[in-house]
Amino acid sequence: MKGIILAGGSGTRLLPLTKVTNKHLLPVYNKPMIYYPIGTLKYAGITDILIISGKGHAGHFLDLLGSGSDFGVNFSYEIQEEAGGIAQALGLAERFADNEAVAVILGDNIFQSKKEIARGISVFKNNPRGAKIFLKSVSDAYRFGVATVRGDRVFEIIEKPAKPKSPYAVTGLYLYDEKVFSIIKELKPSKRGELEITDVNNQYIKWNEMKYSIIKEEWTDAGTFPSLLRAGVLVKKSICGGNEKYKDNG
């Protein structure tokens, strides 16, 4: 299985922090934001990773990350020429995927427990057919795609509903088989002119090929000022509350 980190977008919700750099290079406590999805994929045993970014700051990623040797992984890079949505960015990875299943993670998503995610990915690796999403019960589900589930089935995902039918937000981690690229090619732009990842997921649901896991540990995105702060607090809590002794040298 190959890994794809989507790190494009204009970052307008974090201006002026993103005026001169990509949001995924901003610090989250003690590391650049993109280090966290890299760590999540690596812990799950995925070491062949494509990073897709916008053209404005692509060189910054290369300067920071290089070939991946410092991380024990292999990085490839792709440029999204213009903001066309998550699914459009993913479509650029078809040649990289080379008919393998892929783990796709948004560059601003931070998961507290890499073990929990690694288990979910491992199950999919054993039978890489269809797709799999990772859900988290949250109080502000209206900010995300919201999944309705019953038993082992996902019935629908609604993007940013005013009145969510469930508390289950779709986190920014998706597992797909090779059919995902054929789905993307058939998508039509949404009202905001983008190819939506929710439309990709709903196609797998129509085919009854969508699996899911519900995350118990903490998770957050980091694309707004409140969530960026929450991400930093989450990381700090993980460091101070774990087995690793934390020393503040400031």
Q: What is the pLDDT of residues 94-117, one digit of tens each?
A: 999 999 999 999 999 999 989 999
Q: Buried b vs exposed e over 218-247: b needs ≥16 C-beta within 10 Å?
A: bbbbbbeeebbebbbebbeebeeeeeeeee
Half-sphere exposure for 66 (CA within 13 Å, toward CB): 6
Q: Which domains does the chain have, with CATH numbers?
A: 2-134+171-178+208-241 (3.90.550.10)
Question: With bands split at pLDDT 50, 70 and 90, how would you rate the model's confidence at 154?
Answer: very high
Question: With bands split at pLDDT 50, 70 and 90, how would you rate the model's confidence at 149?
Answer: very high
Supply 76's token pair: 């490839």
Residue 142: phi, psi to the nearest 5? Answer: -60, -15
DSSP string, 92-138: TTHHHHTT--EEEEETTEEES-HHHHHHHHHHHHHS--SEEEEEEE-
Q: Is 65 in contact with 50 (CB distance < 8 Å)?
A: no
Residue 236: phi, psi to the nearest 5? Answer: -60, -45
> Does residue 241 register a pLDDT over 70?
no
Question: With bands split at pLDDT 50, 70 and 90, how would you rate the model's confidence at 248?
Answer: very low
Question: With bands split at pLDDT 50, 70 and 90, how would you rate the model's confidence at 185?
Answer: very high
pTM: 0.93
Q: Buried b vs exposed e over 131-140: b needs ≥16 C-beta within 10 Å?
A: bbbbbbebee
Q: Is 158 in contact with 146 (CB distance < 8 Å)?
A: yes
pLDDT for 84: 85
DSSP string, 25-51: GSEETTEETTHHHHHHHHHTT--EEEE
